[in-house]
Structure 1
Amino acid sequence: MIHCRNTVDPKAYLDLYPFESHFLDRKGLRYHFVDQGAGDPVVMLHGNPTWSFFFRRIISALAPDYRAIAPDHMGCGLSDKPDDERYDFSLQSRLDDFSALMDHLALDRITLLVHDWGGMIGMAWAVANPQRVARIILTNTAGFFPPGRKRIPLRLRIIRNLGLLATPAVLYGNLFARGALYMAPRKRLCPTVKQGLLAPYNCPLNRLATLRFVQAIPLVPGDAGFDIVARVDSRLATLAHIPMLILWGRHDFVFDLDYYHEWCRRFPLAETHLFDDAGHYLMEDVPGPIIERVKRFLNRHPIGG
């Protein structure tokens, strides 16, 4: 077994991430989440290889008027970093963790803000609990299979399918998280932000989740999680009555314009904005415009209004 430091010290990033940590016990593993402010709950779900740090600006911007909640998926951020013997890193387990948090906090009528893998996890929960969702905000994500006959990008196929080549590069070279720092944002990240995004993934064991997320992409029948994606894909239309905002970075190397157009096709009544100066890490590229549009959307669609 590989041993290394299990968590990052959040005190090192207090200027950027000044939030109190909360934990939910998941069969002896600690599932970390931020719970900041008071008011209508806005729940944010990150993707791979980020963590709740990715939402730090919008958490701070919303918390005076809203209750901003952002968990770290198991193996990510400040959550525990189990090995394969203690956690199976499946989509079902991700969904179970998130469902447990929603029940633990007794959240109802939430605004769900999702990014990357957070979209599939969050939308799986939403189609099973539509009465608990008041508003949805989508940012460069998917809740369906790749549209048309689209394939996932080559770099993801290599990591997903060629374990003998990809595993050492991801676990020992931190290839996925480090590579994302340069491929995902449109604008250059400052050194402190780069350090913050990488901080939880500081040794091979702590990078296991970033590898397993890619390896767990369900594409064909028989893949673990395929049935979950198929169920969400077929039931997304049941959420059409919920106010939706789609915010998209145009220059995304995974969730490109085909995904954006597919969301628009499925939800023609959604409010949309395509950012020409943003990529996959749009929260880093255009945080001000994102926060402005989110606040306007929340004000236009008051819960109970």
Structure 2
Amino acid sequence: MTRFPGYPFASRWYCRDGLRQHYIDEGAGPPVLFVHGNPSWSYLWRRPVLAMRDRFRCIAPDHIGMGLSDKPGEDRYTYTLAARVDDLDALIEYLIADRGAPERGWTLAMHDWGGPIVMAWAARHPERVARLVVCNTAAFPNPYGERARPVLRLPLWVLRETRLGERLFLRHNAFARLATLPPLGVRRPLPRAVRASFLAPYDRPEHRRAIQRFVQDIPLRPGDRAWPLLHTTSEALAQFAHLPTLIGWGLRDPVFDQAFLREWQRRFPAARSHVYRDAGHYLLEDTGDRFLTALRGFLCE
């Protein structure tokens, strides 16, 4: 029995600037890059990797400060969107140069913060990208404008700006805990061992800093630190609109709601959409084999 159920993968490590980034690299064939968001880790992608590694090379990194990667203090790492993109760029260059990964033909699968991260990377290397898989994420400014949805404004302000938010993140791990409970992250309860696996990397306050910084880095307006990079990434999306694209969306997501889905569909009018009315933010947990079947069919065409 593995430490994390459904995750029987060999751990691999890439060291850069004295920090170790964990990733899994399973199977052989055309590369599929799975990029997680906040507050998850590569465990999110365990079922797609298991389902696809017979025909594809499945690569899923853990961002620095998350999952099984190192969790440095802020004196050693900046915890910004730009740093995440640089990390991903360095990892893929390493995989190409030293681990035999191809330069081209990459499928990019993204969820939550994985969208801005991997699409900012794609804007640097558009020639490498072959297909997109989009799951409850964004790579463009908030479609509601400079302010969050009304229902989220107060919780987001508390989390980003107050000492209570600091305590909720670091002392109580509230953000990660709530994200693995109905109705916020999922619509049906996770098995106890699966929920424990999502939470395991964030077992003490100093291991939760990345979760907090991701929320504080959400770019809502031009003055926010991550805004310029998000805006540039948004402007670059048009060059990928011709690529085969699969959209998988849980409609019960309290953050990435139908407005975000419609924006993806507007920008990628030829995309194939699979929309699930009974699924929440963690689409892969709520849809069982339904989205996996759609994903495999899309990749195997």
Q: Give the TM-score range, shorter chain.
A: over 0.9
For residue 71 of structure 2, the aligned residue among 69, 72, 81 is 81
Q: Distance in 2 between matches of 1:77 and 1:92?
A: 19
2:157 counterpart residue number: 157
Q: Give the counterpart letter for 1:127 in structure 2.
A: A
Superposed CA offset, 1:1-20 (max 9, x none): xxxxxxxxx9422x421000
1:120 counterpart residue number: 116
How far apart are 1:221 and its partner, in Å?
2.1
1:144 counterpart residue number: 140
Kept in 1: contact 2:148–2:220 (CA 8 A): no
Q: Distance in 2 between matches of 1:179 and 1:148?
A: 24
Do structure 1's residue 34 and structure 2's residue 30 form an aligned pair?
no
- More displaced, 104-113 or 271-280? 104-113
2:210 counterpart residue number: 209
Q: Give the counterpart letter for 2:157 in structure 1.
A: R
Q: Stretches of 4+ moved more than 6 A in 1?
A: none
Q: Give the counterpart letter for 1:229 in structure 2.
A: L
How far apart are 1:288 and its partner, in Å?
0.5
Unaligned runs of 5+ in 2: 97-101
Kept in 1: contact 2:89–2:121 (CA 8 A): yes
Q: Distance in 2 between matches of 1:287 and 1:93?
A: 33
How far apart are 1:156 and its partner, in Å?
2.6
Do structure 1's residue 46 and structure 2's residue 36 form an aligned pair?
yes
TM-score by length of 2: 0.93
Q: Over the residues paired in the alignment, what is the CA RMSD in angstroms? A: 1.3
TM-score by length of 1: 0.92
Q: How many residues align?
A: 289
Superposed CA offset, 1:91-127 (max 9, x none): 1100000001111111421100000000000111112
- More displaced, 66-75 or 15-24? 15-24
1:273 counterpart residue number: 274
Superposed CA offset, 1:141-188 (max 9, x none): 0010011435152323321222x1201111010010001111101111
Unaligned runs of 5+ in 1: 1-9, 301-305
Q: Distance in 1 between matches of 2:205 and 2:285?
A: 26
Q: Give the counterpart letter for 1:16 in structure 2.
A: G
Kept in 2: contact 1:48–1:210 (CA 8 A): yes
Kept in 2: contact 1:57–1:287 (CA 8 A): no
Pairs within 5 Å for 1:122-201: 122-149=118-145, 151-152=148-149, 153-154=152-153, 155-162=155-162, 164-182=163-181, 183-201=184-202
How far apart are 1:130 and its partner, in Å?
1.1
For residue 10 of structure 2, the aligned residue among 8, 13, 20 is 20
For residue 105 of structure 1, give the secondary structure of its aligned residue in structure 2: helix
Superposed CA offset, 1:275-303 (max 9, x none): 11100001111131111001111122xxx
For residue 292 of structure 1, give the secondary structure of its aligned residue in structure 2: helix
How far apart are 1:43 and its partner, in Å?
0.5
Q: Distance in 2 between matches of 1:257 and 1:221?
A: 23
Pairs within 5 Å for 1:52-131: 52-106=42-96, 107=102, 108-131=104-127
- More displaced, 152-161 or 202-211? 152-161
